[in-house]
């Protein structure tokens, strides 16, 4: 019979919660495991926060996840919330460029054109820009196809600057809020590197890989989209998991200040209040900016996450439907970096997620804060609202102030996976495995920022711990 192992999880965001949930399940199955989840703040969930007000379901942080990455759906099913899963309504999405909203051309996969007709018709690119993009059809593969380069460098070479700046950059930076000329291709969109390796041309290669929409028809009889969320709000998953955990295993309002390996091989977890606790294994589920401070200096990796995570804010605004003088039939828009607006994107949440908004009302959610300019995030709520409304008014013609609004600031929240991120992450894991065996780093700083990526990283850490029981 293996010896009982105690696991300490640092950080109670979705990553730490997932780890605690699966460790609890392992314990219930009779495995000799106990755990403590330590969270610095007074609540669990990290970036997941939902507000319920007047029939609205308002997400302050993430609002959904990519359904084809199964780890999140698995967690939701295990937590007993599968009946609350809803897909997004599909609809036309737009990109703003040259002061105009353009339809995202049909067939564009993450901005890579795969259908000729819509690409030729769109006014998003000039004839020269289109001709340059078509060069992708004949350009050879990159010679050093296995080395990492920036997302910007890769796409500029294949499709030209115009397609990158007017379409690809606004779409991709919505996910990473980063500078695409610094973001790592291998760690953010490795599928494009694979497509080039396999098919040479991105346009031809992506044509064969277009994701299929779900077969379930949506509210308006259209195909359902590829994103999922919970009709009860994403925070209902946090609450459900918390209910399933043993309350004495959750420590809130406790900030970890260091992790020390003792001579016995066990770990001492120091808390900021001067107390400590011990563990046989540790899951570091705090962002790397925190995690690196908890580890001894010789385990940190030079240059890893050298650029601080980007700060962003979301602004959710509720209006009566009549306030929208020019309601556009679609799900929202992203904005090219060259535009003079402060907002970077806007989701027409009432259209994309009808369950979030009562009849006769409209819910808009805008983003502010980008890699090269985050000052707006630190302005007052009133200033942010005023700036957002001014931008929206020029784009959509909104007459009134919102009935209510919420500004949610997420300071240094979007990790920047820069070129060679993967190699640096591998070095961190090697350092941990050599000097801190049984300690695992997981969460948004490493193998994907999306909720399913965070969940998968927690699953992986728990699996290692369970497999190493001796
Ligand atoms: P966090 O949620 O940051 O949790 C880390 C936890 O660690 C926090 O609770 C923190 O208090 C705690 N902590 C920190 N330091 C210590 C310490 N010293 N001791 C103890 N505890 C500590 N992803 C999607 O898939 N879909 C989306 O629609 C989406 N939208 C997003 C919108 C916004 C505005 C943001 C900011 C992110 C979005 N993301 C989205 C990304 C996703 O939300 C995050 O990557 C994910 O929630 C991160 O989870 P995590 O557990 O790794 O970290």
Would you say the CB of residue 345 lies under 6 angstroms from ligand 1?
no
Is CATH 1.10.3110.10 the classification given to domain 104-209?
Answer: yes
**DSSP-H helix ranges across 29-167:** 70-78, 116-121, 127-134, 151-159, 161-163
Q: Quick one: tokens of 286?
A: 């705090």
Residue-wise pLDDT tens digits, 139-151 = 999 988 889 999 9
Residue 325: pLDDT band with limits 50, 70, 90: confident
Give the closest residue (by CA) to ligand 1 atom 3.
Answer: 46
Q: What is the pLDDT of residue 215?
A: 43
Q: Which residues of 398-433 are buried (b: 16+ CB within 10 A; e: fewer)?
A: beeebeebbbbbbeebbbbbbbbbbebbebbeebbe
Q: Which atom from ligand 1 is nearest to the alpha carbon of 255?
A: 19
Nearest CA to ligand 1 atom 9: 46
Most ligand 1 atoms within 8 A of CB, residue of 44, 59, 62, 406 to mutate: 62
382, containing H or E segment: helix 381-396
Which band of pLDDT confidence, cut at 50, 70 and 90, is reported for residue 211?
A: low
Is 176 a pocket residue for ligand 1 (Cβ < 6 Å)?
Answer: no
Report which ligand 1 atom has the smallest distance to the Cα of 451: 25
Domain ranges (residues) in the chain: 5-44+238-306+418-468, 104-209, 310-414
Per-position b or e across 52-62, b if 16+ CB within 10 A of its CB: eeeebbbbbbb
pLDDT exceeds cutoff 90 at 152? yes
Query: What stretch of H or E contains 65?
Result: strand 65-66
pLDDT at 222: 54
- Ligand 1 proximity of 67 Cβ (cutoff 6 Å): no
Residue 369 Cβ < 6 Å to ligand 1: no
For the domain made up of 310-414, the CATH class stated in words is alpha beta
* pLDDT level of residue 180 (50, 70, 90 thresholds): very high
User: What whole-number distance in Å separates Cα of residue 141 and Cα of residue 84?
Assistant: 45
CA of 103 to the centre of ligand 1 (A): 32
pLDDT tens, residue by residue, 284-301: 999 999 999 999 999 999
CB 148 less than 6 A from any atom of ligand 1: no
The span from the CA of 445 to the CA of 305, in Å, is: 8
What are the structure tokens assigned to 228, written together?
């999922």
In 29-134, which ranges are continuous DSSP H helix?
Answer: 70-78, 116-121, 127-134
What pLDDT, on a 0 to 100 scale, did the predictor assign at position 219? 38
User: What is the pLDDT at residue 110?
Assistant: 85
Q: Please check the confidence at residue 120 and state whether its pLDDT lies above 50.
A: yes
Confidence (pLDDT) at 3: 84
Q: What is the pLDDT of residues 359-380, one digit of tens each?
A: 999 999 999 998 888 999 999 9
Q: What separation in Å is there between the alpha carbon of 445 and the centre of ligand 1? A: 9
Q: What is the CATH number of domain 5-44+238-306+418-468?
A: 3.50.50.60
Q: Ligand 1 pocket test: pick from 8, 9, 19, 47 the residue with the most ligand atoms within 8 Å of its Cβ.
A: 47
Half-sphere exposure of 279 (CA within 13 A, CB side): 28
**Could you check whether 5-44+238-306+418-468 and 104-209 share the same CATH topology?**
no
Q: Which of 340, 348, 352, 349 is nearest to 387 (CA)?
A: 340
315-324 average pLDDT score: 94
- 3 state DSSP class of 69: coil
* Residues 60 and 30: beta-carbon distance below 8 Å: no
Is the beta carbon of 285 within 6 A of some atom in ligand 1? yes
Average pLDDT for 205-226? 62
Span 258-271, average pLDDT:
97
Atom of ligand 1 nearest to the CA of 449: 45
Mean pLDDT calculated for residue range 25-48: 97
Q: Per-residue DSSP letters for 401-469?
A: --SEEEEEEEEEEE---BTTHHHHHHHHHHHHHHHSTTEEE-STTTS-SSHHHHHHHHHHHHHHHHHT-
The CA distance from 455 to 463, in Å, is 12
Percent of the chain with pLDDT over 90: 82
Cα 130 to middle of ligand 1, angstroms? 39
Per-residue model confidence as pLDDT tens digits over 406-447? 999 999 999 999 999 999 999 999 999 999 999 999 999 999
Is residue 213 pLDDT above 60, yes or no?
Answer: no
**pLDDT band per the 50, 70, 90 thresholds, residue 216:** very low
pLDDT at 109 over 70: yes
Task: Give the pLDDT confidence score for residue 84 in this predicted structure.
Answer: 98
Q: How far is the CA of 14 from the centre of ligand 1 (A)?
A: 7
Nearest Cα residue to atom 30 of ligand 1: 62
Query: Of how many residues is the chain composed?
Result: 470
Q: Residue with the nearest Cα to atom 53 of ligand 1? A: 13
Q: Give the residue, out of 46, 228, 242, 374, with the most ligand 1 atoms within 8 A of its beta carbon, to mutate for a pocket test.
A: 46
Q: What is the mean pLDDT of residues 227-243?
A: 98
């Amino acid at each position: 019979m293996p010896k009982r192992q105690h696991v300490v999880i640092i950080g109670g965001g979705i990553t730490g919660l997932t780890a605690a949930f699966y460790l609890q399940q392992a314990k219930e199955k009779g495995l000799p495991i106990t755990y403590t989840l330590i969270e610095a703040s007074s609540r669990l969930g990290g970036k997941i926060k939902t507000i319920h007000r007047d029939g609205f379901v308002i997400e302050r942080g993430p609002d959904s996840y990519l359904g084809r990455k199964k780890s999140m759906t698995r967690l939701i099913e295990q937590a007993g919330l599968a009946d609350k899963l809803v897909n997004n309504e599909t609809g036309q999405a737009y990109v703003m460029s040259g002061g105009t909203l353009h339809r995202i051309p049909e067939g564009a996969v993450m901005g890579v054109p795969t259908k000729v007709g819509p690409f030729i018709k769109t006014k998003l690119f000039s004839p020269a820009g289109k001709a340059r993009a078509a060069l992708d059809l004949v350009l050879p593969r990159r010679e050093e196809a296995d080395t990492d380069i920036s997302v910007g460098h890769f796409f500029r070479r294949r499709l030209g600057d115009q397609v990158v700046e007017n379409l690809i950059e606004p779409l991709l930076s919505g996910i990473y809020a980063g500078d695409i000329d610094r973001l790592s291709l291998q760690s953010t969109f490795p599928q494009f590197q694979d497509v080039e390796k396999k098919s040479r041309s991105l346009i031809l290669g992506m044509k064969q890989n277009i994701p299929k929409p779900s077969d379930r028809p949506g509210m308006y009889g259209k195909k359902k989209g590829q994103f999922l969320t919970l009709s009860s709000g994403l925070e209902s998953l946090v609450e459900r998991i918390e209910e399933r955990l043993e309350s004495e295993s959750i420590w809130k309002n406790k900030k970890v200040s260091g992790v020390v390996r003792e001579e016995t091989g066990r770990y001492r977890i120091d808390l900021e209040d001067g107390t400590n606790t011990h563990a046989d294994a540790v899951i570091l589920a705090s962002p790397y900016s925190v995690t690196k401070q908890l580890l001894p200096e010789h385990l940190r990796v030079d240059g890893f996450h050298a650029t601080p995570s980007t700060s962003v804010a979301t602004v959710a605004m509720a209006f009566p439907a009549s306030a929208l003088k020019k309601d556009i039939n679609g799900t929202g828009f992203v904005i090219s970096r060259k535009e003079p607006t402060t907002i970077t994107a806007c989701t027409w949440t009432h259209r994309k997620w009808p369950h979030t908004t009562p009849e006769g009302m409209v819910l808009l959610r805008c983003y502010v804060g980008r890699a090269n300019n985050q000052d707006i995030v630190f302005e007052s709520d009133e200033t942010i609202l005023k700036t957002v409304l001014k931008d929206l008014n020029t784009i959509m013609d909104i007459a009134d102030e919102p009935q209510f609004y919420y500004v949610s600031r997420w300071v240094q929240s979007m990790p920047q996976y820069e070129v060679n991120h993967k190699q640096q992450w591998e070095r961190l894991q090697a350092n941990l495995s050599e000097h801190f065996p049984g300690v695992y780093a997981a969460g948004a700083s490493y193998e994907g920022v999306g909720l399913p990526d965070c969940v998968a990283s927690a699953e992986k850490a728990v699996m290692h711990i369970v497999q190493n029981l001796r």
